[in-house]
Chain A
Amino acid sequence: MASAIPLSKELSHNSISISSRLGNSLDVVSRRIGGDDSDSAATIAILYIDSLVDQRTINDHIVQPLMNALLVGAEQEQPTGQGMLERLSRHVIAAGSVAVIRTEEEALEALLNGFCVIMVDGTDEALIAVTAGGEQRSVDEPVTQTVIRGPQHSFTENIFTNLGLIRRIIRSPNLRLQGKRIGRQTQTHVFVASIKGIAKQSVVDEVLRRLDAIDIDGIIESSYVEEFIQDRTFTPFPTLMNIERPDVVAASLLEGQVAVIVDGTPFVLLAPVTFFKFFQSAEDYYQRFDIASFLRLLRHITFIASMLLPALYIAITTYHQEMLPTTLLISLAAQREGIPFPALFEAFLMEITFEVLREAGVRMPRAIGPAVSIVGALVLGQAAVQAGLVSPAMVIVVSFTAISNFVTPQINIAIAARLIRFSLMLLAGMLGLYGIMTGVIVLLTHLAGLQSFGVPYMAPVAPFIWSSWKDIFIRVPRWAMKSRPEMLGGSKRKNNARMPDWQRSRSE
């Protein structure tokens, strides 16, 4: 940054200079109070950007007290310059946070963050008071990560609201929030949240180090940060998680993860993560452990299905027909009778069609939504079968694959499965089950080599850590979760975890 220009003692010079540095924009308001009738003789000036402040705060807590003070003081002897500034700061301005600044740059930064700058003639210092406001989206129900039972609020675009949501869940002095400004132009607030004593200090330091290394014009969404701090770029698998639910972020912090909260987006990043973390839904912890375990197993199975099913169908029907039961083989063969394309091409046709439908569903305006479902379901599904372009079994396979893909609670790992599916289909079409096996081996090797902030991606399966298995494929009852996930935070959560005594006596 260029050397700072200090404020001058002359009030009008300061106010004109700052306004001009903001391009004399119309929404920069410069209000002059006191002195004689002419503007140039005013003793106090208030500077703020109209669009960033709360008008009411300015009126009630800044302008009015100032005017009252000047009126009251009219009969007495008025302090001037520095003395006036101190009086205003101590006795007059009714804002929560007031600070003293000395340079134009500081004044500019304060203005752009919604502060108002109060300058007094005859001193080279100025006051800034917090008056930030303007329209904000209120705290709403989560849109992308919904649960049936559990808290129904989500993060908003305002980082301070978001920090508040987390603080309100974890009322501990150990909750650490370390703030940063990233982005040359946007100067976006980024906070790193962790719990001292649970999160590994090395991970927190690593997150901060990687954040410091970011040099970019602007941060619009947390994905900008994610791409800069993730461990590997050339992998379909995400090494950070994004969450819009305060309860999930709080729970993750309690497990020893570190949250990166970025201003302007409701999606908070969590690191480090493991592969299996992506299959844990918030709901797992709000429902009974038996159904939660069943659903979690189901999620793992459907993830595999969403990756392998079309490939397996292609491989088995074109290379390994002997694996099918005779009646199924005959039924499939009858369906394929008269289909002009090979199974591989047929599968690609349907998969691409589905991807197009899905993309259209996301992008198009809400009002024409039903049209796409009609076109998708009727025209492409039923009509394609009746026209003899694809076999009904293939439609079933592709639909089930698509539905399986939506089961995964985290959309960014589901996307990984979508991409991998296509390459496995190609391998299956060229080499059969042998090709699928090769693809899966390559995939597993890749997964085993991934790391997220020093934590092996496949932990606790590889490396094998038995104590962390209680919350991977199943969720054990809460009293049995006696230690934190070892790779993330480690250390004991409870000393003598066991069934509560009164429950124990009843179950015997």
Chain B
Amino acid sequence: MVKRWLQIGLALVILTAQCGCWNRVELNELSIISATGIDIEDNGRWRLSFQLVIPQAISSTSGVSTNAAPVYVFSTEDESLRGAVRKTSLELSRKLYFSHNQMVVISEKAARYGINTLMEAYIRNTDSRETVTIFLTKGSARNMLEQLISMEKIPGAAIDHMVQNEAFNGGSFPQMTVFQVQQELLDGTHATGIPSLALAGEGGSFDSLDGMKKTHSDLKVKLSKLGIIKGDKLVGWINAEDSMGAMWLANRVKRTTVPFACEPSRKKDSTLRIIQTSTRVSPEPKGNSFIINVHAKVNGTLYEYNCDADMAKPETIAQIEKAIAAEIERTMMKGWKAISEQRADIVGFGGAVHEKYPKRWREIASSWNEQLGQLQIKCHVRVHVNQTGMSIDSFRSKLRKQGG
């Protein structure tokens, strides 16, 4: 019996010694971070900004009046990122909690300086997750964290949802997580694109709850340009339309609407809603360089159609499909032009070449980004209009048939 008790006692001792997670923290001892901002000062020191969630102000169950701001933003400075995190304890009563961080904003200046410090911090630490969405901004990152988003309580989460919505339904900008950025930067082409946030509208800042009392806001956070990262540095920007082209080339478009002109003379006032699409890239060598064949398959539903053609005829549909294909090809080529000017292969053509011609790739890998301009891109877009929606002929042609 004594032996048995001894065994149980020993098991308990070993149990406590083996334990991996000893740091018990109650929920009300945590400060939950919803967004982080990274700026760099003129003296080369990092300025980290944190957007902390104030749970009482958000949850309606606690009975406290919700006049308090839902988040609190503050900054610390140090030469290293973790050093700046350490300094937060100088002004914070609770332990910083990174696991629920929704997004990281990097200022243009910090991004031009280089983001490898940030990537290193994310790889090495257990409490920061690589699934955090990453953004750039032209101004200061802290300024972005201070903005409130209408309808939402937590701005960090709201912006994260915003880019998800855009990536899924809009298609101009991708949602880039820290993990994806790391993956693409460590890939053969060492280039990636990160969407940026900008303040649109009048006024200095939307950082007070008073702004929520109005039916509209003068100032709002918007997704704007796509920042091109090469190596670990920001090298340039491309606009939303070019970014859309890049998304097409990189097979990142999921659902979007494509405006097109149903007759060459008209403006682009008809639209196709894309339901499903995929892009496949196949390179073939040509002399010193390559021809990149981009095959895109697009299925969609007609959402708007403002011409007179008889939709009951298959020829009309074929004609529409051709017009849409031409429009998509144009977007792709425009995007490619912008990318090749930046000399950063953010769409992963290099990866396709690497896959198909590994030997050639080894020779040209180092100069790939510099010679992007020599690539010849051939787009083959096949559009299929699945449905014409709830009606066949356009309202205009119906009106005309009635003698209107």
Contacts and interface: CB of A to CB of B under 8 A. Distances in A.
Interface of A: 317-322, 326, 329-339, 342-343, 392, 429-435, 438
Interface in B142-195: 154, 157
A338 to B, nearest CB: 7
B28 A338 contact: yes
Given A332-B27, A333-B28, A320 B59 contact: no
B61 A331 contact: yes
B61 A335 contact: yes
Contacts of A329: 27, 32, 100
A431 B99 contact: no
B21 A337 contact: no
Contact of B30 (A321, A331, A335): A321
Residue from the set B18, B28, B56, B127 with the largest chain A CB neighbour count within 10 Å: B28
Given A330-B32, A334-B56, A335-B62, A321 B99 contact: yes
B100 A322 contact: yes
Residue from the set B27, B55, B100, B127 with the largest chain A CB neighbour count within 10 Å: B27
A330 B55 contact: yes
A149 B100 CA distance: 51
Nearest to A318: B24
Contacts of B28: 333, 336-339
Contacts of B18: 434
Interface size class of B (residues with CB under 8 A): 20 to 34
Contacts of B157: 326
A322 to B, nearest CB: 4
A319 B55 contact: no
B20 interface: yes
B102 interface: yes
Residue from the set B19, B32, B62 with the largest chain A CB neighbour count within 10 Å: B62
B53 A321 contact: no
B37 to A, nearest CB: 18
A438 B59 CA distance: 35
A430 B13 CA distance: 13
Tell me what chain A mostly uses at the interface: helix, strand, loop, or mixed: helix
Interface of B: 15-16, 18-21, 23-28, 30, 32, 34, 53, 55-56, 58-59, 61-62, 97, 99-100, 102, 127, 129, 154, 157
A320 B56 contact: no
A338 B26 CA distance: 11
A342 B20 contact: no
A333 B58 CA distance: 10
A330 B59 contact: yes
B19 A343 contact: no
Contacts of B58: 330, 334
B53 A330 contact: yes
B254 to A, nearest CB: 23
B58 to A, nearest CB: 6
Nearest to A324: B100
Residue from the set B19, B24, B32 with the largest chain A CB neighbour count within 10 Å: B24
A300 B25 CA distance: 32
A399 to B, nearest CB: 16
A438 B58 CA distance: 37
B59 A434 contact: no
Nearest to A385: B61
Nearest to B100: A326
Contact of A321 (B20, B25, B129): B25
Contacts of A336: 26-28
B26 A334 contact: no
A342 B23 CA distance: 13
A341 to B, nearest CB: 9
Nearest to B34: A326
A150 B127 CA distance: 57
A319 B21 contact: yes
A333 B61 contact: no
B15 A333 contact: no
A429 B16 CA distance: 12
Given A335-B59, A435-B15, 13 more contacts: A317-B26, A320-B21, A326-B100, A326-B157, A329-B27, A330-B59, A331-B61, A337-B28, A337-B56, A342-B24, A392-B61, A431-B16, A432-B21
Task: Give 3 nearest A-B pairs by CB, closest first.
Answer: A334-B59, A322-B99, A334-B55
Contacts of B24: 318-319, 342, 429, 432
A318 B95 CA distance: 13
A392 B63 CA distance: 12
B155 to A, nearest CB: 13
